[in-house]
Chain A
Amino acid sequence: MTMERDTLTGIILASVREFAQMSDKAQGHDLAALDEKTRLFGGSGLLDSLGLVSVLMDVEQQVNDSQGTAITIADERAMSQERSPFRSVGSLTDYVLTLLHEQGA
């Protein structure tokens, strides 16, 4: 089963909204208006480190459950990239789609 980009983006946005509500960094952001350009981490990012861990764990679980895969989002390749794939909703979507493609999903 191939996962559509829009479906994956929807999963990520829902997860970000859930965990951003618990983060002080999300104060003042309109969580209903998030999109692929939304920064997740860093200076203007919505999430603190715990929030990012929670989102990655949550997205990984949902993707693996729905696709029957065993992807690991925070793998060594992700952690060693000069530009973190976790910097925005769009870059995270790209990275997860790459992992799914490599697993033939």
Chain B
Amino acid sequence: MSDTAAQPVALVTGAGKGIGRYLVERLAQAGYRVFGCSRKPVDWSLPGYEHVSADVSDEAQVRGLFSAIRERAGRLDVTINNAGVASMNHFLLTPASTLDKLHAINVRGTFLVTRESVRLMRARQFGRIVNLSTIAVPLSLGGEAAYVATKSAVEALTRVTSRELAPFGITVNAVAPTPIDTDLIRSVPADKIQALVDQLAIKRLGQPEDVFNVVRFFIQPESSYITGQVIYLGGPL
């Protein structure tokens, strides 16, 4: 796509590594002009990709991120709320500070980025927002109380915002991956991961491609009648 004004624009939060970076690459391949953010600068580059250092839990930094997108691209079609943090610990041993940290990134970050996305999307009466949940929510996974609580909140946000943003032509959906071989699960013992995989209908780790497959479905223009949905990979559970 050479016509910059006609080129669709996507934002991926938590774009520095893991699934976020993979989604950036796939969206760029699909013809999107892609913006990404993470708290730190990235040491890689990609044609069609622009990185903005921003903490999604910081309201001023989120406003700055969207000012940059507005100034450089003037539009936004797709937002992937991928930024997330996890923590595995017994509930009784989990410090309140861990809950606060997870809530700040997973819930507050999704809330702020979604709200600011709408300001850019509503002008064209079109938008696709995809949030990231986890199969740990329907599994009520032990040892993940803070993570599951915050991702449950993300699912609730997905459903409520899907109603409130529908009049603007914006859909909001979520994809809930199984464990995927990224930094997020690297610290989790292998037997814990295997026990989790054993509960799935399709007994394997997820791949980043599995996530993009659902994202691609949610963001295509033909998915205008699909909103407020959460798709769990590897299910039923």
Contact = CB atoms under 8 A, between A and B. Distances in A.
Interface string B26-62: 0000000000000000000000000000000001100
Contact of A50 (B60, B63, B118, B167): B167
Interface in B45-96: 59-60, 63
B122 interface: yes
Contact of A61 (B59, B119, B167): B119
A64 B60 CA distance: 12
A17 B60 CA distance: 30
Contacts of A57: 118-119, 122
A70 B60 contact: yes
Interface string A50-65: 1000100100010010
Contacts of B119: 57, 61
Label chain A's interface by main secondary structure: helix
Measured as residues with beta carbon below 8 angstroms from the partner, the interface class of chain B is under 10
Contacts of A54: 122
Task: Select the residue from B60, B122, B167 with max chain A CB neighbours within 10 A.
Answer: B167
Interface residues of A, number: 6
A6 to B, nearest CB: 25
Interface string B160-183: 000000010000000000000000
Nearest to B63: A70
B83 to A, nearest CB: 21
Interface string B94-129: 000000000000000000000000110010000000
Nearest to A57: B119
Interface in B175-209: none
A54 B169 CA distance: 13
A70 B167 CA distance: 26
Contacts of B59: 70
Contacts of B60: 70
B119 to A, nearest CB: 6
B129 to A, nearest CB: 16
A11 B122 CA distance: 18
Given A54-B122, A57-B119, A70-B59, 6 more contacts: A50-B167, A57-B122, A61-B119, A64-B63, A70-B60, A70-B63
10 contacts: A50-B167, A54-B122, A57-B118, A57-B119, A57-B122, A61-B119, A64-B63, A70-B59, A70-B60, A70-B63
Q: Shortest 5 CB-CB distances between A and B: which pairs?
A: A50-B167, A61-B119, A57-B119, A70-B63, A70-B60
